[in-house]
Structures are given as structure tokens and as C-alpha cells.
Structure 1
Amino acid sequence: MSRVVMDVSGQLKQLTWPFGTCNQNTQPFCNCLIGFNPKLGNDWYLGDYSGGCVRRTKLQCGNASAANQGKDRFQEYSNMRLPEHPQFVASGSATECESSCLKNCSCTAYAYDRNGCSIWTMDLVNLQQLLGNDSSGSSLYLRLAASEFSRDNNMGIIIGVVGSVVVVLGLLYVMWKQQRRLIATPCVLWPNTCWLSFLGKDRIYVLHGFCFGGNKKLLVYDYMQNGSLDSHLFHGKESKVLDKKTRYQIALGTARGLAFLHEGCRDCIVHYDIKPQNILLDVEFCPKVADFGLAKLIGRELIRVLTTMRGTTGHLAPEWIVRVAITTKAHVYSYGMMLFELISGRRNCDQSEARIVKFFPIRAASVVIEGGDVHCLLDHMLEKRVDVEEAQRICKVAC
């Protein structure tokens, strides 16, 4: 529902589609205005908001009856950056300005400030909720059918009850984090709490809250019934066998989660530690990317960032070794390393009794490049139930 463009001055501006508003303190970042729904529901679900929003209930335009429960009314939005293309109307007060809007059947909103009375007769575009420390905005009054206000009152009661239940259920599961190494620098915990709770995406493990006392810190997450991916790959007979369909679902879901971190957030987020231990599975084995303890925000204006080495052996991208700037490509590499472990059911780095470290991805890459039988790379628990072409395709993606 928004896009970023560069104006003639060279400044970037975020523009929203019809009847949408953006607020940096909410998640998702942009939403439809009250009384409006996405025009294209399926596209909206897939992350394409370009269709904008449409009214749920048509305006009555003064035609009050028992059916529509009275004339149109106005919903106030305070401290807003006003929409473009206003029409200025001579008016001596806010009441007169409101009356002018009601008399015009095409009027969708009005504002009355130091500049006088402004009304809008077209779609409202480029609305933005300004931050609390920015007092340059004005109050915008959005025109809605009277029935929308009675609907919102009923929904307020329902949301209040449901919200209380969700909070109680969320507290049922508390992840214990012993921040032993972070006692000297407790601020490391704070970045998680600042932005992780705003992610709110299907494939991201969302933080609901936190608390701390002394050297003990608690993070509150949803309960994930099937634990982490590594518990189903590396624990032998204790592990539940993951069939090829489930593994494909996990691979695809994890990729979508990483794509969201790269493109779906206000700032690009580099996780730095993608591995099976940090992929959690719900009751249906749908994956969620978790543990953002090493993650870093990268502004959209930055292409790459220099940082100290972070991550786990067996999943580190070559950039870490040669100490060059890190980009989102490091995610792609770590994802490929995780794919090898997902399809093989073994750890990438395996130390033998002779203390010789064997790096499985090297062997796998050799088999793929030389056109060998990829079945020898697959988890023996899958037996021969994997199609050859399918296995080759997954191995090539991992490489």
C-alpha cells in the first residue's frame, strides 16, 4: 500500500495508495483507514498493496433513514500529514467547515487549521501519521457512514476480550535466556525489544515481551510445539522422521521468512546466524526464523555493512573469513548450508575420532558438479522416496 519515490529535490518520499495511512509505530507499517478494506484481498495477503483500499459502507450524503441510522459522521485522525490536492473553502469555524463537507456529496474528508478550511473530493493519498515529537501535522476528519461508528463500538468490546486472552496465552510460554556474556554490556538485549516485536510476519518468531531482574532476563514468545529443526535432524532415534514434503515446506517457509527480513521490513535485517537450531516448528511443522540475538539492522540506504564476526561454524559465509563488508548475500549462503543439513540429516562440520574435521558441503558440491548420484547425499531415513530430479534441484539450490 506504499511506495518510495525520489522527488525533484532528490529527497525520498514514501507514498501510500488510496485511503491508506503509514505509521512508524504500528505493524504492519501501512494500513487501511477506519471504515475501509483492501480492494484486492488476495493480493493484499501476498504482500501487494498497490490496489489500495475501498469503503466498506457507501456514504449516505444526507439521505438519513432508519436503515442507514442517520447522516454521515467524521472520524478524527490527529497529527497527520494531510493528503495532497486539497480544495480551500471559505469558512469561519470548524463547524462551518464540517458542514461544507457534508453538503458536498463528493467530499471524503476535511481539515480546519491555521490555513483555514480544506476539503478533499478525491481519493485520499499519501497520508502519514506523524510521530509524537513532530507537531507539524493537523487533524484530519475522515467522512464515514453512520453505521461504521456503531460497528466500531461493537468491535472494540470483542477486541478487548480477545486481546486479554491472547496476552494470557502468550505468557504460558517463557523462553529463558541466560545472558551470561552480556552482563557487562546489557544494552545488547535492547535492540531485540525495540524492533523484534514489530515484525509480526507468519515466518518470523515474534517477541511478545520481556522482563529482567539482576542478571536474569526473560523473553516471552509463542509456544512452538515441535521445537527446533535440529532436534528432528541430529538426534538419531529420538528424532521424528521428517518426510520429503515436510522438509520442502520447512525449506520454502524459511526462505520466505528471510525474504521478509530483507524486503518486508522498514529496515533490512541481517540475522547472521541462520541454522537448524534457530528454525522453530509449530504444531503443523511450519517454520519460523528465531533467535535474533546476533541480528543487525541495515538502513535501506546502505548496501553493505562492516561488523565483527558473528555466526556458527558450518554456516558462515566466506565474507566473514576474508573480513569484507557483509550483505544480505551472507543470508543466502547460510540458507544453502542449512539446506544441506536439512536434506542430509547430518551436521555440515563433523569431527571424526582422529580429530579430522569433515565439511559435508564440499563433498555434496563435488557430487552435484560431477553429475554423481545425489541419493548418497540424502538422509538415509528418506530411503529412495525422493525423485532424482527433485533431489538434484534442491542440492543445486544449496550449492
Structure 2
Amino acid sequence: MDFPKRTHLSFTSLIFLLHLCAITFGVTDTISRTQPLSGDLTIVSKEGILSLDCSLQDCNIWNSELWDLKQLPNGNTDGLDMYIRLAASDTLVQDSEKKAHHVRLIVLIAVLGSIFMALCALSITVKMFQRTSSKKAFSDNYSLVVYDYSFLQHCTKNFSDKVGQGSFGSVFKGLLPDSKLIAVKKLQGMKQGEKQFHTEVRALGKIHHNNLVHLSGFCLRGAERMLVYDFMVNGSLDAHLFKDEKILDWNTRFLIILGVAKGLHYLHDECQECIIHCDIKPENVLLDVNFSPKLADFGLAKLMDRHFSRALTTMRGTAGYLAPEWIGGLPITPKADVYSYGMMLFEIISGRRNSELMENGTIRYFPVWATIRISEGDISEILDQRLNDVNFQELERACKVACWCIQDNESHRPTMRQIVQILQGIQDVSVAPVPVFLKQLVDGEYISS
């Protein structure tokens, strides 16, 4: 028989070769042979193991365990050589198994590649959608995002979740694809053109302060005008003062009083041009997750192109947050915000609305009664009776500030800068006189409960 050249076989190849040799020679009887070979590897074959002595040129069929067999390194001549002959059938079986393994490997690679390509395509599609639905409006450091109308419509579920209604429009809650909550304000009564609107919104986008709601973008579609703000999870201040929400303790209320004062001081004195808010009230003070105050709707009066000498003249005789000069049809100044701020302070301190229509048709107007009590040094009676652990120094400063803010003559009212200093205890303040205008407004009467 012909033998292949001398070779050093691996363990796996040896098993196949020995197996086939037994079949080739057709030997079924057990022939005992105990010729030891160099090494320490045991090889077992179900069909038998063939061992060939090179010097004798014979073949043996081995049916028991074969000990001390190993593959020697190239060039090592210490052991005996073994020559093995393979049958064609075993070669075909081995090739078939290799081909099946290769097919499985190719299929697996193809599947994984398809999944990877699909994920890449999905990622590219999402990025392209985000770029087309929201793009940068300006290239400066205070850039805003111009939102597509259909994108905001999708984020707000077709503007179905209405969370607020004010004099400038309705507010809807929305959710961006990155799970960030937004508040979308649909403006009403717009008279500006697109170019002027862009200019005014760009100016608002440059306004950044810890106590002002952040404007992140806007939307234009025909006559539609929308502003997009960060959403404040704790809602507006009025819900916590007058509704069945969490009762705010004095420390939180005083931080709100001080925070709103700082926000107004920034609008009046630290912006590129003075911004008069024109609508200071608890509904426009929003609270973030830490109950830090954020003043909303700043700059919208100018954006709406209102003429303050004629606006809101129907409010004559109504007790609220409007300064006397505004009700009288006179031009307004930042001191109009100071007046409204003072009116809001009474509500924060007392936890009640300033005015209430009684069953007999008369008005119960809290600020008149409160200013009289404060001027007499009795501040505890105007405090919300639900509160405990009150800092009376802070309470006294807040009460005095409120009384000075609602003075008839705007020149007698402090600036927001002075108010911040008084609240912080940096500047002293005396007791203010009772405003004559308020007495006349309600015929000098306060109907107590």
C-alpha cells in the first residue's frame, strides 16, 4: 500500500485517520499490541485505532485505549513516526461538516450585518427628522430654535393638554423626542409682521436670568405665532396660594417674593433696554421642581404691540393689580410693575385674594385693611393663619415693601433694585402711609369676615 509523506498530525486529524484505516483494512478481530510511544496523550476510537510501525512497514488494528501518543515539534527525532491513510468517504464527511459550518457562519454574519445596517438607517432617519423639524434660527450665542408647526402639533398631541390661559394666549403642555417637557404658548391678537416678530423674539431669546422662564424657541405659520418655553413642573403660584395644592411654608414664600423682585430688577435695569412686564400676578409666577420662582410672559406686551395709553381702559373701577396711572389712561413706566408686585405681595403673605365680591354686592378688599394694620404695627393679623415658624423680620420687611409699592404717586414707590435691597436687609425702610386711591376705590370700607 502507498503511504503519504512523514507528517506530524494534530489530535483531531489522527482520530479521523486511525478510524478510517481500520475500515480500509477490514480487520474486526482484536490484535494485542503493547508497543509504547513517546508522549503522554491518550486517544480512544470507537471503531479502533491503527498504529503503524515504520520500521516493520506493517499495520495494526487497535481496539483498546492507546496511551502515550503526542505530536512532536518539527525537527524532534526522539519518537516513532506514524503514517495514516484516509478513506475518501471520511474526507467527504469532514468536508460536508466544514461546509455546513461555513454556511451557518455566513448566515449569522449576514443577519447581524442586516440588523446593524437597519439600526444605522434608523439613526440617520431620526437625525434627519430632527434637523428638518427643528432648526436653528440664529447663529449667535443665544440662538433660538424655529419649530415646525406639525412638529409642535405632534409634541402637544394636537394641542390637547391645555395647562393655562392668560391675556396673551393659551398654554399647552408638550413632550419633545428627547423626553424634555415644554410649554407652548399660542399667542392671540398678534398684529406684527413676520420680520418684526423675528426681531422681537430674538431680543427675548437673549434674556437669561434664574428667575425668568427660559424661552427656547418659537413657531411661525401664517398668522399663527407660538413661543416655546421650558415647562415648570410645579405649576403657577396661584394654585398653591388659593387652590387645593401644597401649602407653601413661609421660607418658600419669602424666597418667591425675593426671586420675583430679582427677576423684575433684571428686566427693568439690566437688560439692553428696559422691559416692563405689565402683567405681574400669581398666575404668571411659575415654580420649578425646587419651587424656585420663574416669572413668565415677560416682554409679551411689547411683542403684542399694545398701546398702553388705550389698553385695558375697561378695567376702570376694578380692584386688581393695575396701577392708578394705568387705569387713568396715562403712559406707564416700570413703576406700574412695582405697583402690581406690591399687590401680589399681599396675596402671598395672606394666602387669599385681594378682592372678593360679597353676596350683598360690596367688595371685600384686603389691601386697604392690611395697610391700616401694618401702619399700626400689627402685622401678625394679615399673615396666612396656616403658617408656622415664620421669620417676623422677613415678614415685617415684606409688609412694608408691599405698602410702599402701592402708593398712589409712582414717584413715591421704590425701584425694584431698592426692593431687593430692603428684602435682603441691606436697606432700611419706614412705614408707608395708607394709599388714598385705594380708600376711594372701595369708598374707604373693608368688610371683614
- The TM-score normalised by the length of structure 2 is 0.45
1:83-98, aligned counterparts within 5 Å?
none
For the pair 1:391 / 2:395, whether they are aligned, the reply is yes
User: Secondary structure of the equivalent of 2:275?
Assistant: strand
1:117 alignment partner in structure 2: none
Change in Cα spacing, 1:207 to 1:365, as seen in structure 2 (3 Å) is same
Q: Quick one: structure 1 residues 334 and 170, their matched pair in 2 at CA, closer, same or farther if it must change by over 3 Å?
A: farther
Unaligned runs of 5+ in 1: 1-23, 29-166, 298-304
Aligned-residue offset at 1:253: 0.7
Displacement, 1:194? 3.1
Question: Superposed, which structure 2 residues align to 1:153-302 within 5 Å?
Answer: 172-179=180-187, 181-182=188-189, 193-213=201-221, 217-235=225-243, 238-292=244-298, 294-296=300-302
How far 1:293 sits from its partner (Å)?
6.2
* Secondary structure at the counterpart of residue 217 of structure 2: strand
Please list the CA deviations of residues 46-69 of structure 1 after superposition, one character each: whole Å capped at 9, or x if unmatched: xxxxxxxxxxxxxxxxxxxxxxxx
Taking the aligned partners of 2:326 and 2:263, their CA distance within structure 1 comes to 23
8 Å Cα contact 1:176/1:217 also seen in 2? no
Distance 1:272 1:253 in 2: 18
Specify whether residues 173 and 387 from structure 1 end up closer, same or farther in structure 2 by C-alpha distance, changes over 3 A only: closer
Aligned counterpart in structure 2 of residue 360 of structure 1, from 348, 351, 366: 366
Mapped contact 1:207–1:221 kept (Cα < 8 A): yes
Other-structure match for 2:33: none
* Deviation at residue 215 of structure 1 after TM alignment: 6.0
Aligned pairs for 1:43-122 (under 5 A) are none
Select the structure of larger CA radius of gyration. 2
Of 293, 298, 310, the match for 1:308: 310
Pair 169,350 (structure 1): closer, same or farther in 2 beyond 3 Å: farther
- Percent identity of the aligned residues? 46
Where is the helix percentage greater, Structure 1 or Structure 2?
Answer: 2
Aligned residues: 226
How far did 1:219 drift?
2.3
Letter in 1 for 2:348: L
Can you give the 5+ residue segments of structure 2 that lack an aligned partner in the other structure? 1-138, 144-174, 404-449
Q: Does 1:335 align with 2:341?
A: yes
**Structure 1 residues 307-345: Cα deviation after superposition (integer angstroms, max 9, x where no partner):** 333599511111112222311111111111111111111
Q: 1 CA distance for matches of 2:141 and 2:239? A: 35
C-alpha contact (below 8 Å) 2:309/2:326 kept by paired residues: no
Pair 307,171 (structure 1): closer, same or farther in 2 beyond 3 Å: farther
Alpha carbons 1:231, 1:239 under 8 Å: kept? yes
SS at match of 2:386: helix
CA contact (8 A) 1:174 1:219 kept: no
330 and 171 in structure 1: CA distance in 2 versus 1, 3 angstrom threshold: farther
Q: CA RMSD in A?
A: 3.2
State the AA in 2 paired with 1:382. L
Rounded to whole Å, the distance in 2 between the matches of 1:296 and 1:170 is 32
1:380 aligns with 2:385: yes
Amino acid at match of 1:380: Q
Distance in 1 (CA, whole Å) between partners of 2:339 and 2:227 is 29
Q: Which amino acid aligns with 1:309?
A: A
User: 2:94 is matched with which residue?
Assistant: none
Q: Give the alignment's TM-score, normalised by structure 1.
A: 0.50
Q: Which structure: greater strand fraction?
A: 1
Task: Identify the residue that residue 97 of structure 2 maps to in structure 1.
Answer: none
On the 8 A contact 1:27/1:200 being kept in 2, the answer is no
CA contact (8 A) 1:192 1:292 kept: no
CA deviation after TM superposition for structure 1 residue 378, in Å: 1.2
Q: Secondary structure at the match of 1:249?
A: helix
Higher deviation after alignment, 281-290 or 213-222: 213-222
Distance 1:306 1:388, change over 3 A: same
CA distance in 2, matches of 1:350, 1:186: 40
